[in-house]
Amino acid sequence: MNAIFSRGPLLGLRLLLAVLCSVGLMMVDRYTERSTQLRSFLTSAVSPLFYVASLPETLLSGATEQFMSHQRLLDENARLKETLLRQNGQLQLLGYLQQENSKLRALLGSAPLTDGQRLVAEVLAVYSHPFSHQVVLNKGSNDGVTEHQPLIDESGVVGQIVSVGPTSSRALLISDNTHALSVRAERTGIRTVAEGLGQWDLLRVIHLPQSADIREGDRLLTSGLDGLFPEGYPVAVVSRVQKDESQPFMTVYATPYAQLDRIRHVLLLWPGARLDDVLSPEEPN
């Protein structure tokens, strides 16, 4: 019973300690460079939990595949073959165009676009917390994944890697409100920045003056100016433009192409060493 009487002040002291520790952690995580390493270590420490947590879903989808009827499998196979054929046809053309493009770029004396290595990764866990749009991927430093690596899916840019463990890594999505990337409007070539808002289907395009030529339906592509995302990948489509003359900038919203709330597989990009060569001379400035 003694324990009960001595609990009052003891609890307060413990709370004080806990609050101090938490505030310390927040400061370390938010305002120091160390936190990326710390996070990477912690991500790898807890990665077994992600594997266990996604087990029911894996089993369930495995079972669905098991019980899929023969006919449906055949149909799916035929459909996939057709898609493959069509895309291979397009790829032949693309190969030719790429060659032509690099020749033209060489003639112009500008840096060639490099098409780096790619790797398919599966999403282990998506955490839906509105304050952090992040996913955990099943590829880590053992597969050569590094921090700040761009991530795309079949329809557009998804995000970038923020911390890496040996067998899993954590990616920040473009919709997270701490994320922003440099984009270019396809129609007019205006360069701007698209930042996340913490909503799955909305980005905000910022710092566009009232006179800027942008309208609903404009495609926004990566500009490559952030030195992170390779140029030319689709990011979002402009969904709403509000002009208010009393404001210095327009309010423009865009919808990401990638379906960020239902991604299963993503493609990790290595933009290639050539791009780094191009960018590194700028760093001393």
Partner 1 sequence: MRRSNGLGFIYLSLLVALLLTVMPMPQQVKLFRPDWALLVVLYWTMALPGRVNILTAFVLGFLTDVLVGTVLGVNALAFSVVTFIVAVNYLKIRNFSVIQQALLLGLFLALYHLLLFWLSHFLTGVYFLPAYLWPVLTGMLVWPWLFWLLRRYRRQFKIQ
Q: Which residues bind partner 1 (CB under 8 A)?
A: 3, 7-8, 11-12, 14-15, 18-19, 21-26, 28-30, 35, 38-39, 42-43, 45-46, 49-50, 52-54, 56-57, 123-132, 134, 170, 177-178, 197-200, 261-262
Report the nearest approach of partner 1 to the CB of residue 231 (Å).
28
Query: Which CB sits closer to partner 1, 60 or 73?
Result: 60
Report the nearest approach of partner 1 to the CB of residue 104 (Å).
43
**Of 175, 79, 158, nearest in space to 123 by CA:** 158
User: What count of residues does the chain have?
Assistant: 285
Query: Which CB sits closer to partner 1, 156 or 224?
Result: 156
Report the nearest approach of partner 1 to the CB of residue 33 (Å).
14
Residue with tokens 């046809």: 89
CA distance 64 to 45: 31
CA distance 174 to 196: 6
Report the nearest approach of partner 1 to the CB of residue 65 (Å).
17
Query: Which CB sits closer to partner 1, 124 or 158?
Result: 124
Query: Which CB sits closer to partner 1, 167 or 223?
Result: 167
Q: What is the three-class DSSP state of 102?
A: helix
Query: Which CB sits closer to partner 1, 42 or 278?
Result: 42
Residue with tokens 């309208």: 215
Report the nearest approach of partner 1 to the CB of residue 134 (Å).
4
Q: At what angle do helices 7-31 and 35-53 cross, to 10 degrees?
A: 110
**How many of the other CB atoms lie within 10 Å of CB of 183?**
29
Q: Do residues 111 and 278 make contact, with C-beta atoms less than 8 angstroms apart?
A: yes
Query: Which CB sits closer to partner 1, 135 or 221?
Result: 135
Report the nearest approach of partner 1 to the CB of residue 284 (Å).
31
Please give the DSSP secondary-structure letter assigned to residue 46: H
Q: What is the three-class DSSP state of 204?
A: strand
